[in-house]
Amino acid sequence: MAPVPYKGQLTTWKDDRGFGFIKPDGGGKEIFLHISALPRVSRRPAVGDTILYEKVTEPDGKVRAAKASIEGVAPSPRQVIRPIPNARPLPAKRKPKQGGLLEALVGILGLAVVALFAVPLARRSFYVQPDTSIPPSPVASITEPTCVIKGNISISSGRKLYHVPGMEDYTWTEIHLDKGERWFCTEAEAIASGWQRAPR
């Protein structure tokens, strides 16, 4: 059985919130109308419009309009989605990691190697006069091979994010200097340049 179309006049419309109320032609309680019930109209509804709709009763007993249209207003043509030229494809989703024990052992081994080199350097720097030279300029930090913080621009959001060694996405993050991405020597330098710490 096909649904019965109803007709009424739009008496209230809150365009900023996308809803209003229809006074049915046959009288009775006003019917709630949400903008989502008008998916293919070429303009926004206005008070006084005649609305054609189907009545839907929610489980809580409230009545709303569905599959609505504005009488005398042609439906908008279907939009054709065209690909954006030169768009970079989204990165493929990685499979969940397997073999966590092996990765943990590699991580511990890596920390041990870092500690072996860091402790002697820390002892030596304790006895050496502090360096009072001028810190490297931002241009120098871009090309400095010892800088390990990756400044990456997100493909999906365009946000400038930095990744430090040990973060989940650090290994997979690639830096493209020609696209405005860069290397940083310290987190403070990255933050001062307007970059935010990546979530992972």
Banded model confidence at residue 135, pLDDT cuts 50, 70, 90: low
Q: What is the pLDDT of residue 190?
A: 95
Per-residue pLDDT averaged across 150-178, rounded?
91
H-assigned helices in 13-146:
100-127, 138-143
Quick one: pLDDT band at residue 146, thresholds 50, 70, 90?
Answer: confident
**pLDDT tens digit string along 8-29?**
999 999 989 999 999 999 888 9
Instruction: Check pLDDT > 80 for residue 136.
Output: no
The residues, ordered by sequence, that sit 6+ positions from 34 with a Cβ below 8 Å of its Cβ are: 18, 19, 64, 65
CA distance 188 to 63: 57
Task: State pLDDT tens for residues 45-77.
Answer: 999 999 999 999 889 988 999 999 888 887 776
Q: Cα(61)–Cα(4) distance, rounded to whole angstroms? A: 19
Give me the pLDDT at residue 141, please: 45
Domain ranges in the chain with CATH number 2.40.50.140: 5-70
Grade residue 140 by pLDDT with cuts at 50, 70 and 90.
very low
Fold of 5-70: OB fold (Dihydrolipoamide Acetyltransferase, E2P) (2.40.50)
Is the Cβ–Cβ distance between 197 and 187 less than 8 Å? yes
The percentage of residues in the chain with a pLDDT greater than 90, rounded to a whole number, is: 38
pLDDT of 195 over the 90 cut: yes
CB 93 within 8 A of CB 43: no
Segment 151-162 mean pLDDT:
91
Q: Tell me, what's the pLDDT at 98?
A: 62
Say how far residue 82 (Cα) sits from the centre of its chain. 21
pLDDT tens per residue, range 69-106: 888 887 776 655 566 666 666 666 666 656 678 888 88
